Structure 1
Amino acid sequence: MKMPNLSWQNETQLFYPWLAMLLLGWLMVASASTGIAEFYTGNPAHFAIRHAFYLLLGIGVTFSISLIPMARWAKLDAILLVIGFVGLVLVFVPGIGHEVNGSQRWLNLGIIKIQASEIAKLSAVFYISGYLVRRQDEVQSQWSGFIKPLGLLAVMVALLLMEPDFGAVVVLMGAAMVQLFLGGVKAGQFFLLLFATLIVSSFVVTAETYRMERLLAYLDPWAPEHVYGTGYQLTQSLIAFGRGEWFGIGLGESIQKLFYLPEAHTDFVFAIWAEETGLFGGAIALLGLALVIGLIWRVAWAAQKRGQMYSAYIAIGIASLLGLQVVINLGVNTGLLPTKGLTLPFFSYGGSSLMMCCAMIGIVMRIDYESRQNLENSDNSGGDHE
């Protein structure tokens, strides 16, 4: 196996923006977690130290993953899908599955707890990518090619809903639909899938009382029956944004993180950042995220132009996973979407989410490296021929 140049900054434009997001995320967590850390551990820097450890571990994961050739991944996509399914089943096994806030979403591996949906989403991206390459003609010309992968995804969605984890379902299905659409699925089939997904989603939302309460609170969070109930997180988040104004009240000076806003260092870390740094700081963070995701799309486009379709589909899936998670998290923070527990990639506290985000970046870096190598080999072949 030919080893890539270990100087990442010479290989990809993604390196510095990704590193900047990791450091900015650490700063967000360090500031947003001081109150809760001191209350539970007596050390205001407890979560900042743990997140720094996760950050270093994530960099190691990125480096290690970037060494694996895409040809090796292509042989493992079926195994990865099985691992994704096994993880979703194991969360219901006593002693292995771990419940948090009423949801059975975590695998307790001793030194770290991993959210099973994180593995499942990435395994689905690999499976869909391999399927689109192997069955390209069938996907583009026959209904069977379109329906087969959806059957497997439906089982995965059912397991996620049993946890329950509706947010992961939305992200997974959204990424899969983007991959299928760009993989050549007929427009009629795609819009039929989109319509069916909306119908099923409406049924899922209305089938559970707590989801309906969240939806009603989203529509009017300031109503007396919601403001201290299901709308509490949203109203406190909006207060944080309002306090931040243009330039914020100062880094570390947030009031909302002092037990007013639950999950201040995880799902709502951006609201605390906006309170402390204002619209200006929030815009910088958003531009950084947009740059990282935009560069991933650029890698996908370059791989597609050079005929590396498997790699291109994976990069598309990863960009879609990260992009949808950013949109949903920020939508929840700002009140544009109903409250849903999803972390903000690279920014929210949590080893599981950060490890998977870094793994995705490592895969994209490998795709970019192989794409560049393919271009160099083509140029050298052309020069020799002349």
Structure 2
Amino acid sequence: MKRAKGTPDLIFTLLIFTLVLFGLVMIFSASQYTSYVQYHTVWYYFKKQLLWSVFGTIAFLLALAYDYRKLRRYTGPLILIAVILCILVVFVGVEVKGAQRQLRFGWLNISPSEVLKFAIIIFLAKHFQKNYQYITDFKKGFLPVVIIMALADLLVLLQKDLGTTLAISGTVFALLMIAGAKPSHLTGLGILGILGVLGAIFLEEYRRKRLIGFWYLLIGDENKLKGYEAVIYQVKQSLYAIGSGGIFGVGLGRSHQKMFYLPEQHTDFIFAIIGEELGLVGTIFVVSLFLAILYRGLKLAHWAPDVFGFFLVAGFTCMMVIPALINIAVATGVFPVTGIPLPFISYSGSSLIINMTAAGIIVNVSCYRRGRSEF
């Protein structure tokens, strides 16, 4: 195995592990009440997330040690494995939060959509490396990427997972922007994307109700809101949590909403508990960390020694930040509920390991960085 040249980027590494450690603290705080009621111990969810963090750290170190340029040869097998897993989960998957999104292997649960996100970025990085000069050409450069994105979205939508679909689409769209695709092509894709999301919403009754209820909540129509209380319950409780936190919060471990008032308080809505316990200061801290990851990640992409490394770093950075923005938007009532974890912080084994592997690859590429990219 060829050793990486140079020094790994310490700033990006510190940002990632700060999020992981902060996530462990918040998972313990957010889950201790639920954990005690369900399992008669306050440590259940914390210990499982700590175990996933250890596995994630090992994955990070392995990704850091492996020469990232060799990933190109595994693009096909990775995509094939991801597609097979996504098909399997539709038929034999475990239902989680109304979506068929996990495969269970004994004590291990795997989210195929997380594997798919990871594989697509490596695939697109290789595609852009070979076809970068054609990115403004609709047929040669732009259309193949859109087809891959559409197929991935379809596989995830079959799992009834609209949140991850949005995250994949957002990441691919961001990569096309970064690559320099024509504004007219991007505009057309954006319009098609909006129509596709609306279509996916109105094809499912529970999504329609969520959207309508969210709209009434947004405009403050209390009369019409009465028929949609159940579907917007999480958002209202999330807003209560964040609002009660004020500037400095009620104190770590002192949340009231985590006592079965706010569902998914240690997973999809952990940001609301952060807002309640640590206040505006805590939420700004989290948002600042993700913005710092975005800034540093794009800097490292700019310093990448080749096109493949550039798009790997840019893609994985977007893969971390875009779901975070969606999750925070949901928790703060800016976006309808989609069911997507907050990367590195929410209780989620598959998400944590995939994101830490991606972080390891980013830091790997940083070992070869130079002052400017080749294009």
TM-score bracket, shorter-length normalisation: over 0.9
Query: Could you tell me which amino acid in structure 2 is paired with residue 63 of structure 1?
Result: L
Residues 315 and 6 (structure 1), Cα distance of their counterparts in 2 relative to 1, 3 Å cut: closer
What corresponds to 2:289 in structure 1?
Answer: 288
Aligned to 2:249: 248
- Distance, in Å, in 2 between the alignment partners of 1:282 and 1:150 is 35
* Residue in structure 2 matched with residue 155 of structure 1 by the alignment: 151
Question: Structure 2 stretches of 5 or more lacking a match?
Answer: none
Q: Over residues 155-209 of structure 1, what are the superposed CA-to-partner deviations in whole Å (9 max), with x where a residue is unaligned?
A: 2211211111111111111111121222232222221111111122221112211
CA distance in 1, matches of 2:175, 2:42: 43
Letter aligned with residue 14 of structure 1: F
Of the structure 1 ranges 113-122 and 146-155, higher mean CA displacement relative to structure 2 is found in 146-155
Aligned-residue CA RMSD (Å)? 1.9
Pairing 1:160-309 to 2, within 5 Å after superposition:
160-221=156-217, 223-227=225-229, 229-303=230-304, 306=305, 308-309=306-307
Quickly say closer, same or farther: Cα 1:127–1:5, change in 2 above 3 A: closer
Q: 1:292-318 CA deviation, whole Å, 9 max, x = no partner?
A: 232111111111xx4x11111111111
Asked whether the 8 Å contact 1:12–1:369 carries over to 2, the reply is: no
Distance 1:43 1:244 in 2: 26
- CA deviation after TM superposition for structure 1 residue 148, in Å: 2.1
Instruction: Summarize deviations over 1:242-268 as a string: whole Å, max 9, x none.
Output: 110111111111100000000000000
Write the letter of the residue equivalent to 1:237: S
Does structure 1 residue 346 correspond to structure 2 residue 344?
yes
Structure 1 stretch displaced more, 285-294 or 28-37 = 285-294
In structure 1, which of residues 18, 29, 39 is the aligned counterpart of residue 16 of structure 2?
18
- Residue aligned with 1:370, SS: coil
In the alignment, which residue of structure 2 is the partner of 1:384?
none
Which residue of 58, 80, 83 maps to 2:81?
83
Give the 3-state SS of the residue equivalent to 1:256 in structure 2. coil
The residue that corresponds to 1:381 in the other structure is: none
Q: Any conservation in 1 of the 2:31–2:265 contact (CA below 8 Å)?
A: yes
In the alignment, the residues of structure 2 paired with residue 77 and residue 187 of structure 1 have an alpha-carbon distance, to the nearest angstrom, of 29
Shift, 1:142, TM fit: 4.3
Identical-residue share of aligned pairs (%) = 26
TM-score normalised by length of structure 2: 0.93
Measured against aligned partners, the alpha-carbon deviations of 1:129-162 in whole angstroms (never above 9, x if no partner) come to 1111112233333424321232233222112111
Mapped partners of 1:255, 1:264: distance in 2: 11
Deviation at 1:6, TM superposition (A): 10
Structure 1, unmatched stretches of 5+, are 379-386
Report if aligned partners of 1:179, 1:316 keep a CA contact under 8 Å in 2. yes
Radius of gyration: which is bigger? 1
Distance 2:67 2:168 in 1: 24
What's the offset of the Cα at 1:240? 0.3
Kindly tell me: are residues 152 and 287 of structure 1, through their superposed partners in 2, closer, same or farther at Cα, counting changes over 3 Å?
closer
Q: Residues of 2 paired with 1:93 and 1:216: CA distance?
A: 30
Give the whole-Å Cα distance in 1 for the aligned partners of 2:11 and 2:112: 31
Quick one: distance in 2 between partners of 1:3 and 1:166? 40
Q: 2:4 is aligned with what amino acid?
A: P
Letter in 1 for 2:87: V
Structure 1 residue 71 corresponds to structure 2 residue 69: yes
Pick closer, same or farther for the CA change 1:257–1:6 going to 2, 3 Å.
Answer: farther
Correspondence for 2:4: 4
Whether 2:107 is the aligned partner of 1:105: answer: no
Change (3 A) 1:6 1:256: farther
Query: Are residue 57 (structure 1) and residue 58 (structure 2) matched?
Result: no
- Per-residue displacement from partner, 1:94-144 (whole Å, max 9, x unpaired)? 3xx222233111111223211111011111111111111112233333424
Alignment of 1:357-376 (within 5 A): 357-371=355-369
Q: Are the structure 2 counterparts of residues 202 and 301 from structure 1 closer, same or farther at C-alpha, using a change threshold of 3 Å?
A: same
